[in-house]
């Protein structure tokens, strides 16, 4: 089954008509995109794009064989023409199935906004899923890639190809991954691309981090043909100054993956309204499906799921909220045996970890070892801190989990006026260097822009 993308942009296209933004100004060449439309094996057309006949001809295709035109969403962009000879566009009701004479089967998939997704099966069993702009499947999706109760089309297992609005709805991709509808062999292609993400290298970098890719208008994809996406780094350290966007970048890197465990090392500070507001903003920004653990006992979490260890597992004391192993409570309890859904009965032993942040972890540890007092520091605090940081770095090296960690880059500013301030600056620099040495990818965020230092 071949799919030609006559357009890959948002309904208004990219650049948007009359828009002066930087993204639109730089959307030229392969980064200029017409409204998304699909031509499947020259016989089935999904959605319309301006000048579809010309778009097809430019892609080396013809519309003369099209027998069905389906719409997935209200077309609120430029007026769409229906070329002479094409059937009038229509829709398939949610959960209903359409069988075409050439062997294609189309099933309508309910989505969470006005519109309809389509699951398309080829005559030889290939399967793809197409979602309208800004949409995710409505309701649970089972391992066959179908919304629960959606009927049986005979296809099983993950989709071969998924086309969806990855930049706007990474949670939709996370939902499909959680259900088994998308796996490592699924070709995930971003469509409905708008001006919210800078085009060019930044767009492709963000998509690669989500395990997806973008292709130019006119590209033809062979469903079931494997396309390598850059390997997702298992360990990433995101550095940046205050308000640089480092936490947003870290969250963005895991937004398209399910069952993420967010490890907050800052805890709570009674009476500090500014801190409470910061914590609230972080919580509101995180996907509702993520679980939060507030703890500075990171080693058991990193070791969880590693062969031969029960660290971090419910029923043990190491790293469990409510024990004396450094936990500070949670705003989402670790699930017990009665819990349901992904990761039920365990604290996400193989779930990705997002640790925010190492600077607060270091502050906590320096408090515990008495590092702020010069006499205590020289009498054993230095050695105790080194043992704790060495243990953390060793856990990062041996972890089997996907880890994204955030830390402050404080070594480029004003020299602290106090000995304690200089000590913290120096120790954080050493920790960042040692932690980063164990990571496949190292990013520095400046003014909201992520610069790859490694990977």
The H-or-E segment that residue 423 falls in is helix 419-437
Q: Which two tokens stand for residue 286?
A: 């995180």
Q: Say whether 436 sits in a helix, a strand or coil.
A: helix
- Please say if 282 is a catalytic residue: yes
Q: Which two tokens stand for residue 231?
A: 């390997």
Helices (H) and strands (E) in the chain, counts: 11, 18
Catalytic residue of the set 104, 282, 364, 400? 282
Q: Which two tokens stand for residue 326?
A: 């450094």
Q: Say whether 21 sits in a helix, a strand or coil.
A: coil
Alpha-carbon distance values, 352 to 167, 184, 256, 402, 404 (Å): 20, 15, 11, 5, 8
The CA radius of gyration of the chain, in Å to the nearest whole number, is: 25
Helix segments in 226-297, DSSP class H:
246-254, 273-285
Q: How far apart are CA 184 and CA 198, in angstroms?
A: 26
Q: Is residue 392 within 8 Å of 433, Cβ to Cβ?
A: no
Q: Which two tokens stand for residue 95?
A: 């959960």
Closest CA to 347 of 330, 324, 328, 359: 330
**Those residues with Cβ within 8 angstroms of residue 280's Cβ, 6 or more apart along the chain or in another chain:** none
Q: What angle do CA 323, 357, 267 make, to 5 degrees?
A: 40
**Those residues with Cβ within 8 angstroms of residue 317's Cβ, 6 or more apart along the chain or in another chain:** 323, 324, 325
Q: Could you give the residue numbers annotated as active site?
A: 282
């Amino acid at each position: 089954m071949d799919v030609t993308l006559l357009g890959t942009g948002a309904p208004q296209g990219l650049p948007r008509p009359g828009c002066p933004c930087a993204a639109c100004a730089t959307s030229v060449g392969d980064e200029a995109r017409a409204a998304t439309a699909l031509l499947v094996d020259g016989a089935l057309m999904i959605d319309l794009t301006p000048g579809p006949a010309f778009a097809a001809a430019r892609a080396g295709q013809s519309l003369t064989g099209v027998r069905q035109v389906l719409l997935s969403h209200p077309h609120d962009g430029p007026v769409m023409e229906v070329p002479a000879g094409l059937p009038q566009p229509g829709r398939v009701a949610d959960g209903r199935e359409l069988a075409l004479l050439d062997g294609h089967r189309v099933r309508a998939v309910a989505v969470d906004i006005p519109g309809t997704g389509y699951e398309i099966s080829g005559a030889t069993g290939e399967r793809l899923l197409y979602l309208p702009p800004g949409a995710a499947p409505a309701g649970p999706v089972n391992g066959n890639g179908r919304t629960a109760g959606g009927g049986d089309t005979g296809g099983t297992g993950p989709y071969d190809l998924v086309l969806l609005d990855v930049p706007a709805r990474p949670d939709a991709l996370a939902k499909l991954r959680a259900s088994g509808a998308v796996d490592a062999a699924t070709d995930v292609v971003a469509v409905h691309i708008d001006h919210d993400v800078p085009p060019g290298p930044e767009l492709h970098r963000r998509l690669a981090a989500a395990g997806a890719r973008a292709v130019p208008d006119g590209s033809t994809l062979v469903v079931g043909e494997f396309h390598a996406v850059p390997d997702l780094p298992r360990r990433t350290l995101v550095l940046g100054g205050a308000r640089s966007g480092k936490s947003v970048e870290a969250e963005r890197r895991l937004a398209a993956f399910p069952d993420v465990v967010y490890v907050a090392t800052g805890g709570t500070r009674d009476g500090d309204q500014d801190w409470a507001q910061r914590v609230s903003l972080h919580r509101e920004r995180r996907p509702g499906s993520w679980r939060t653990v507030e703890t500075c006992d990171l080693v058991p979490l990193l070791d969880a799921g590693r062969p031969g260890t029960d660290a971090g597992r419910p029923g043990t004391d190491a790293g469990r909220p409510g024990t004396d192993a450094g936990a500070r409570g949670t705003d989402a309890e670790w699930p017990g045996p009665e819990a349901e859904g992904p990761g039920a009965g365990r604290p996400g032993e193989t779930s990705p970890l997002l640790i925010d942040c190492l600077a607060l972890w270091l502050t906590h540890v320096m408090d515990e070892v008495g590092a702020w007092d010069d006499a205590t520091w020289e009498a054993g605090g230095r050695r105790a801190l080194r043992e704790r940081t060495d243990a953390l770095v060793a856990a990062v090296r041996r972890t089997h989990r996907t880890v994204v960690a955030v830390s402050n880059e404080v070594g480029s500013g004003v020299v602290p006026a106090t000995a304690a301030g200089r000590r913290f600056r120096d120790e954080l620099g050493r920790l960042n260097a040692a932690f980063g040495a164990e990571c496949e990818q190292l990013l520095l965020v400046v003014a909201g822009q992520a610069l790859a230092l490694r990977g």
